Amino acid sequence: MEDIKTPYNSVLSIAGSDSGGCAGIQADIKSISACGAYAATVITATTAQNTLGVTDIHAIPTSHIEKQLDAVLSDIQFGAVKIGMLHSCEVIKIVQEKLAEYKLKNIVLDPVMVTTSGHKLITDDAIECLKNFLPHVNLITPNIPEAELLIDEEINGDNMEEMAKKIAENYKTSVLLKGGHIDADSNDMTDVFYEYSTGKTITITNPRIVTNNTHGTGCSLSSSIAAFLSLGDSIETAIKKGCKYVNKAITDGKYKTLGNGNGPINHFGL
């Protein structure tokens, strides 16, 4: 009797590499794997980075990024795509073209523009190109500083729902607005999800974990959401599961140490 083979539930991560392993492609692979999906990657840039910050960025030539995209997309079927650092208009353009050419679905974009330490990861021109790209994805996951850059308005704990809706309507895509930068003294952390296709707003609340080990949290959340989408969950369910997974990973990493700065979350609960 012939063995029955089943395909992997695969996610493509398009992002930069973090040599310290806390964020970027490395965090994506860990999150996607921990959530039960298979991770493939297209690397847009490499960084010289550790727990203390980024000291250098090396952009991968656009022609090589295109070849990476063609290599994986022509061979592997993906249930979802996670997009992280796209550092130039040329990179954004080729990613947008290839995603359309291969008819990718469930595209989750984490609008990475600056690091937690304030190191810029994207050019000013690329910010405008990124804004033009947003209507072509299914979900964006900005934190408060990124969202304020997208909407050019101040966001606080009282207007998160209003601003999530405004961003979604401006860019014609669903939005998960992450509230980690708001009210650091609160015992809870609130994220707001606005679903563009239905106009539905959901507030997600998790316990706030006091720790410095949060390097790569945004990468891990967006990639975990993509993993759950590839497994067949609805966007609402995938977001709730992703938030729960990351909150647990932060909790599990609270008493771990790595390096001398901001450490990673504990992706596998080890």
Tens-level pLDDT at each residue, the chain (270 residues)? 578 899 999 999 999 999 999 999 999 999 999 999 999 999 999 999 999 998 999 999 999 999 999 999 999 999 999 999 998 999 999 999 999 999 999 999 999 886 555 556 677 889 999 999 999 999 999 999 899 989 999 999 889 999 999 999 999 999 999 998 787 667 889 999 999 999 999 999 999 999 999 999 999 999 999 999 999 999 999 999 999 999 999 999 999 999 999 999 999 998
Q: Out of 44, 141, 173, 217, pick the active-site residue.
A: 217
Q: In the beta sheet, which residues pair with residue 178?
A: 143
Task: Name the catalytic one among 216, 242, 253, 263.
Answer: 216
**What number of helices (H) and strands (E) belong to the chain?**
8, 9
67 is catalytic: no
Whether residue 214 lies in the annotated active site: yes
CA distance 141 to 51: 23
CB 206 within 8 A of CB 248: no
Please say if 243 is a catalytic residue: no
Based on the residue annotation, tell me whether 219 is a catalytic residue of this protein: yes
* 116 annotated active-site: no
